[in-house]
């Protein structure tokens, strides 16, 4: 598993290359990786803000991120009307690329 800094750099590079393709406005880490509690078995929790939510685009984005990060990825789309507990957690923990 890469360090948090390396993961953020990889996400930054990914965003620069794919922002237009996926309509990415923001991309970042939250969860155990953002808290510095990552383990070899950790998945990477990724938060995104996108221009136009689309299930097929999200599936492609997840697949590409798992390939470049070389680990399982969970993606959460950040929106105003999301689960309040999850939103607070992301607001508190998220590290954006």
pLDDT in tens, 11-49: 999 999 999 999 999 999 999 999 988 787 779 999 999
Question: Residue 60 belongs to what domain range?
Answer: 4-96
CATH number, residue 33:
3.30.460.10
Q: Enumerate residues 6+ apart whose C-beta is below 8 A from 10.
A: 2, 68, 69
Per the model's pLDDT, the better-predicted residue between 20 and 2 turns out to be 20
- Please report the pLDDT score of residue 38 as a whole number: 78
Residue 57 has which token pair? 């685009």
What is the domain count for the chain? 1
Ranges of H-type helices in 23-77: 55-69
- Please report the pLDDT score of residue 40 as a whole number: 78
Q: How far apart are CA 35 and CA 13, in angstroms?
A: 21
- Please report the pLDDT score of residue 9 as a whole number: 98
Residue 38 has phi, psi (to 5 degrees) of: -70, 150
- Read off the pTM: 0.92
């Amino acid at each position: 598993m890469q360090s948090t800094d390396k993961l953020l750099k990889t996400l930054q590079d990914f965003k620069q290359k794919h922002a237009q393709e996926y309509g990415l406005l923001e991309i970042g880490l939250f969860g155990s990786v953002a808290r510095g509690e990552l383990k070899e078995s950790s998945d990477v929790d990724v938060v995104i803000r996108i221009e136009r939510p689309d299930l097929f685009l999200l599936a492609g984005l997840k697949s590409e991120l798992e390939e470049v990060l070389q680990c399982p990825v969970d993606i959460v789309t950040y929106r105003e009307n999301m689960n309040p507990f999850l939103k607070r957690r992301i607001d508190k923990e998220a590290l954006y690329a």
